[in-house]
Amino acid sequence: MRGFAVRAEDGWHLTRFTISCCAADAMAYSVRLDTNAALSEDAWYEVTGAVSPGQEPVLVVAASRDISAIGVPKDLYEH
């Protein structure tokens, strides 16, 4: 998964926006990262790991095996 790091009450989340038609309908999707890695807020990362169901409001948790800093992608949105 690729996204930007967001610090939340329960730890770090990897977040990405997706759009259906245009930027006006963009929605954020986040995955809580089960990691102790030192991340930087709003920096972009590629994360590899096992994904498992979470509990509301966090619906997905990623047990992060590998986290690599990446550059900001040309297209910030998933389509």
pLDDT tens, position by position, 32-55: 888 888 999 999 999 988 877 776
Kindly report whether the global pTM for this prediction surpasses the value 0.75.
yes
pLDDT of residue 56: 64
Domain ranges for the chain, please list them: 2-78
How many Cα atoms sit within 13 Å of 44 on the Cβ side?
Answer: 13
Q: Which residues contact 53 (CB under 8 A, 6 or more apart)?
A: 59, 60, 61
